[in-house]
Structure 1
Amino acid sequence: MFLRTVTDTFTALNKSKSKIITATAIPLLISTFIGLVTDQSESVFAMFIGMFVTTALTAIISIQVHKILILGEDSVPTYGTMKWGLVESWYFGHTLLMYAICYGLYRVGVHLGPLALVAAVLLAIIGARAFMAFPAIAVGKGVSFKYGVEVTQGHTVYMLLVSFVFPIIVSISLIPLLLLPIPFLDSLYAYVISIISVGMLSIAYRIIVEGK
């Protein structure tokens, strides 16, 4: 099932690569520009605002990729959309909630000593399954992390592989490319990893939820 997910993900991404590139180009360029500006700024406030806006742009990119792979290429305009609606707000809100939970548990974990590892494992298990809420939200379902946990019952190991293990392996394998003297390579690297990770979740959603 996992190997099928990997194969189907790269097949789907390759098939829709032109649509994905054109649909996500604008938010990617804006995000890259914001990164350049905030990197040169010494203002903590500017960095915070930059991270906030970049996260919102990443949500837009992720939503459009989810739609393309789950609903089909016709579900997204040729050059994507920067329109901000209920879906984007709900997706973005869950992204911020995920960050807040991780940060909160990190702060608590500092005081737990060896138990921090146990807490991290439990968080990974629950989080991997909860992530299934993201593709569902992207295609218009008003669900929460609880939905992700419920629909992935019995697929814990599978979701750990999809959500964490495979993206980490891909990230590590592509690190040598960062040594190439190519402008904005770090932004491109993050973009590619993000697209592959989102693609894996999209295909997992199709397999588990839609039974395809």
Structure 2
Amino acid sequence: MKALLLPLVAYALLDAIDHMETGSFIIGISSVLSSAFATIIAVTTHRIILLGPDSVSKWGFFNWGVRETVFALHIIALIFFLFFCGFIAKSSYTATFSILDLNSVPWKLLVYIPLIITFVIYVVAFWVIGRVSLAFPAIAINQGVSFRYSWKLTRKHQLLMFLVVIAFPVCIWIPIYLLGKIPYTASVVSVLSLITMVFEIAILSVTYKAIYELEDGS
């Protein structure tokens, strides 16, 4: 759709800059702008799916307002949440190696405990992210729904949200990542990444609509 064309082109150009050997300052600026355009793409996609094409201007959104700010802040909150989970996981390693006598054979077996703890931490983290992700399509259509409401809305659909938000995207991104290891495939990977991003956002929109209508009856 035309509403997504220009934001997608801008995002692709900025993504290309990120992969060039330019100065760290330029890369930093392009990364920030890429994140901004990714937010615009997400908001636009959600609105088209949930409210119809008339809910956005012909060539999409390029003005940054409260809606986009709230949307971006929720994304940042999840990023900090993942960083916190990573900190806990790393701390479990540090604690294990500082307490255990690694020269003792029985203790060596306990070195696997941090691996188990890390696995559990990230499974729980991804489960939480799945539960709260319906806040994003709701924010995009100005419903002002928070993480708390999304948590309540998904209480009967926890497995579905994990599959939609975590498992399914991982299954798609792994082949794209492996393709990127092949020389001279950067352009193909960039296009596939953009298509995949929009597709995943659209799936989240459809999931939100289905669960919202089922749970709220409207």
Task: Verify: 1:89 aligned to 2:32, yes or no.
Answer: no
Q: Where does 1:195-210 land on structure 2 (aligned, <5 Å)?
A: 195-210=198-213
Q: Would the aligned equivalents of 2:4 and 2:41 in 1 still touch at CA under 8 Å?
A: yes
TM-score, normalised with respect to structure 1: 0.81
- Mind listing any 5+ residue stretches in structure 2 that lack a counterpart? 93-113
Tell whether 2:55 aligns with 1:108. Answer: no
Deviation at 1:152, TM superposition (A): 0.5
The amino acid that maps onto 2:163 is L
SS, match of residue 79 in structure 1: coil
Per-residue deviation, residues 22-48 of structure 1 (Å, max 9, x unmatched): 211212222222223333344333323
The alpha-carbon distance between structure 1 residues 146 and 45, as it changes in their structure 2 partners (threshold 3 A), is farther
Partner of 1:193: 196
Amino acid at match of 1:189: L
**5+ residue gaps, structure 1:** 1-18
Closer, same or farther: CA 181–116 of 1 in aligned 2, 3 Å: closer
Give CA-to-partner distance per residue, 1:146-191, whole Å, 9 cap, x none. Answer: 1211111111101011111112222335567655966732221211
How far apart, in 1, do the equivalents of 2:19 and 2:208 lie? Answer: 36
Quote the Cα distance in structure 2 between the aligned partners of 1:107 and 1:127.
17
Q: Which amino acid aligns with 1:139?
A: I
Query: What letter matches 1:133 in structure 2?
Result: A
Task: Output the CA distance in 1 between the equivalents of 2:172 and 2:156.
Answer: 25
Cα distance, 1:124 vs structure 2: 1.2
| Identity across the alignment (%) | 26
In the alignment, the residues of structure 2 paired with residue 68 and residue 121 of structure 1 have an alpha-carbon distance, to the nearest angstrom, of 32
From 44, 50, 54, the counterpart of 1:70: 50
**Equivalent pair of 1:167/1:196 in contact (CA under 8 Å):** no
Contact persistence 2:179–2:189 (CA under 8 A): no
C-alpha distance in 2 between matches for 1:41 and 1:137: 36
**Alpha-carbon distance between aligned partners in 1 of 2:187 and 2:176, rounded to the nearest angstrom:** 15
Query: What is the SS of the residue equivalent to 1:78?
Result: coil
Partner residue, 2:166: 164
Matched residue pairs, number? 192
Conservation of the 8 A alpha-carbon contact between 1:124 and 1:160: yes
CA distance in 2, matches of 1:39, 1:163: 26
**C-alpha distance in 1 between matches for 2:200 and 2:32:** 20
> How has the CA–CA distance of structure 1 residues 44 and 109 changed in structure 2, closer, same or farther, with 3 Å as cutoff?
farther
> In 2, are the aligned partners of 1:23 and 1:79 still within 8 Å (CA)?
yes
Separation of aligned partners in 1, 2:131 and 2:51: 21
Q: CA RMSD in A?
A: 2.2
Q: Structure 1 residue 184 and structure 2 residue 187: aligned?
A: yes
